[in-house]
Amino acid sequence: MIININDDFDQEKIRISGQAFRIKLMDDGSYRYVHKGKVLYVRKIKGTEYDVSCCKKEWDTVWTGYFDLGRNYKKIRSGINKEDTFLKESADAGKGIRILRQDPFEMLITFIISQRKNIPAIMASVEKICRLFGDKIVNPGSGTADDNETLYAFPTPEQLFNADEELLKTCSLGYRLPYIQDAATRVCDGRLNLDDINSLSDEDLFEKLKEVHGVGDKVSNCICLFGYGRVAMAPVDTWIKKVIDEEYGGINPFPGYGKNAGIMQQYMFYHARV
């Protein structure tokens, strides 16, 4: 199916922006996404035209929300104060990044894993967890030889709760293993209802997620931003801390960016790393 995206949309920048760990660049130049047991291939044709491997109904009900296509990123970038030169440079460099609306449980687990790991190591751990404990997915294919690959969904809370501990240890989780087990346990026993907490305010959601062992400020902010679409939330990791220290004199600028702080954080994170 051919679709048009008339706003900022750069799949490579999204892939390496640190918000998702299962996006893959395929041999034919398309990008593969795995989300809630579904697989999508997106290939740019020209200009604003893209070939997507799903039907219109699935695009409208699943992927439009996933790519946050209801938000105008061009307009957001155009509203940046030009006197904030580093942010302006960052937004120019990161043009095309969008905040993906991903599964909250997947974000909870993957960002626990992300602590003190680089992105390739995180991706390897996540893929092994999916392969060992997730359901096999019927792959719709992209029309290339890669169609033969076997894919797996991210495990459900129940699948991780019931996961064999020795097998989990083979996923290079280290000290994060008990944190992941605690997260799965809390979701399964009802102490953490990931659907219900979406009704909380940003601040209350942030605090609720921190009840999970191993979830601190940075991880909670990431889950709020990438799992719940709370774009006012801005995670501060070592890269962003360096930006704050070197570009803003140690004063956190994100409170001043209001409801779009998380988007500005992604521009800065991308610009600082690339």
Task: Give the largest Cα separation in the chain, rounded.
Answer: 54
Specify whether the CB–CB gap between 143 and 177 falls below 8 A. no
Determine the pLDDT at residue 146.
Answer: 53
98-228: CATH homologous superfamily? Hypothetical protein; domain 2 (1.10.340.30)
Determine the pLDDT at residue 194.
Answer: 98
Determine the pLDDT at residue 116.
Answer: 76
Q: 52: which strand partners? A: 42
Determine the pLDDT at residue 117.
Answer: 79
pLDDT averaged per 10 residues, the chain (length 274)? 97 96 96 96 97 97 98 97 96 98 98 89 96 88 61 97 96 96 98 98 98 97 98 96 97 96 98 91
In the chain, what are the domain boundaries? 98-228
Determine the pLDDT at residue 274.
Answer: 83
Determine the pLDDT at residue 145.
Answer: 46
Could you give the dihedral angle defined by the CA atoms of residues 260, 265, 267 and 270, in that order, rounded to the nearest 10 degrees? -160
Specify whether the CB–CB gap between 155 and 134 falls below 8 A. yes
Specify whether the CB–CB gap between 119 and 21 falls below 8 A. yes
Helix (H, G, I), strand (E, B) or coil at 45: strand
Q: What's the pTM?
A: 0.94
Specify whether the CB–CB gap between 19 and 105 falls below 8 A. no
The residue length of the chain stands at 274
Specify whether the CB–CB gap between 237 and 119 falls below 8 A. no
* Cβ neighbours for 43, distance < 8 A, ≥ 6 positions apart: 28, 29, 30, 31, 50, 51, 142
